[in-house]
Amino acid sequence: MTSFVSGHVITSRECLELALECARLSQKATDITVRETLAAMAKTWVKLADTERARALVDGWDDPERETKVA
C-alpha cells in the first residue's frame, strides 16, 4: 500500500526506512529538543507504515478472488 508525501508516492517500507533514519539522527543529536523531535518523527513514520499495512489488508477483503488466493 502507498501514501502520498509531498506529491511522492511512499510505501510502508519507505516509511519504516524514514523512521529508522529519524531514530538514528535522534541518537546522534546533542540538543534535547532536536532529539525529542526526531524521536517523535520516528514514531509517526512507524504509525504511518502500520496504517498503510492495515489498509492493504482491508483493501484485500474486498477482493472477490481473495478466497481462491488464500486457499
The 10s digit of each residue's pLDDT in 19-38 is: 999 999 999 999 999 999 99
CB 19 within 8 A of CB 70: no
Asked if residue 2 has pLDDT above 90, the reply is no
Asked if residue 68 has pLDDT above 60, the reply is no
- Tell me how far apart the alpha carbons of residues 25 and 7 are, in angstroms, rounded to a whole number: 25
For 40, the enclosing helix (H) or strand (E) is helix 32-61
The pLDDT-based confidence of 66 (bands split at 50, 70, 90) is low
Beta bridge partners of 2: 11
What pLDDT shows up at residue 57? 75
- Tell me how far apart the alpha carbons of residues 70 and 64 are, in angstroms, rounded to a whole number: 11
Residue from 49, 47, 48, 22 nearest 37 by CA? 22
Mean pLDDT of the region 39-55: 91
The pLDDT-based confidence of 71 (bands split at 50, 70, 90) is very low
